[in-house]
Structure 1
């Protein structure tokens, strides 16, 4: 859960950085992160859109690695 939380925090920081840049024609009203298995963390970390298909339709036969890159470097500086 802590690795997921770190990623969500970084995404929120990235969203805030983009907003602060005042880039012409770029709006960052939404922050889509999280799925059925980590929706509580996503909400706490600022998600405005969450994918909850599994919670509604049930588990599919895809491995977690299909959705999540386990080698993602969460130490990246933003």
Structure 2
């Protein structure tokens, strides 16, 4: 397959960019996102977001760097 554009990351910016590039129908766009298929039922229920926050299969479980303005503490930063 051939594509005119390849976008890595389907976050808010990646999805908007893919939509705008493909809207006219003149360009073929491939949008890549990390992770497995989203068959986990809690991903499709708005309240289910809380169930994915600490699940390492759906969340990369990042912490921020320690910040001097927070007395050297780091914050849990869910992504994925």
| TM-score, length of structure 2 as denominator length | 0.27
Tell me: higher relative CO, structure 1 or 2? Use CA pairs within 8 A at least 6 residues apart.
1
| TM-score, length of structure 1 as denominator length | 0.27
Of Structure 1 and Structure 2, the greater helix share is in 1
Determine which structure has more spread, i.e. the larger CA radius of gyration: 2
